[in-house]
Structure 1
């Protein structure tokens, strides 16, 4: 199962063209191209815990703070962490700009 994106791991069918995408909507984790490659995933497929609007425990998730509290014990997040080892990215790095 190494290297799976969240929609492949959970078989939710909300990826682009998935069996549940018309009924439940397309999951934003499967369309956020700017996160492609993070933790070795396609779009946000291995970084879904930072994306609002994903489906977890049969509920659409809301804000990032609440979502992270739910995701911290997620088996998928834990498996990505193990697979990525020292390269694992939990949260985006803040960009500091000189003023």
Structure 2
């Protein structure tokens, strides 16, 4: 192959794909993010502070404290568009793999209840 030059526009996509591959490998190993996985780790969107997605689309409003309760946060960027309030986006969230996973906190404030 001759010298290939990566166009800057596509370089970000390439780096994001590498990042996703690494995160997927870690997730499948079962050693990291077993219990306290956040939506941006599960979906690999990079919208956490410092992530590639945050540089492109801004930091997710669920970051840093609501990554396991993202459905309750207005304005999250899911499915390629900004979502509305909890009531408006609940049907979309209920179809989400993260929402359906064991990582999503469905306790609604009753996590430490006996």
Please give the TM-score of this superposition, normalised by the length of structure 2.
0.58
Instruction: Quote the RMSD (CA, aligned, Å).
Output: 2.2
Aligned to 1:18: 51
Structure 2 regions of 5+ residues with no counterpart?
1-26, 28-33
Residue 52 of structure 2 aligns to a residue whose secondary structure is coil
Alpha-carbon distance in structure 2 between the residues aligned to 1:54 and 1:28: 6
1:30 to 2:30 alignment: no
Aligned to 1:78: 100
Alpha-carbon distance in structure 2 between the residues aligned to 1:26 and 1:92: 25
Residue 59 of structure 1 and its aligned partner are, at CA, apart by 1.0
Aligned to 2:78: 56
Higher relative contact order (CA 8 A, sep 6+): 1
Alpha-carbon distance in structure 2 between the residues aligned to 1:7 and 1:30: 8
Please identify the structure whose Cα radius of gyration is greater.
2
After the TM superposition, list the runs of 4 or more consecutive aligned residues in structure 1 that deviate by more than 3 angstroms.
Answer: none
Aligned residues: 77
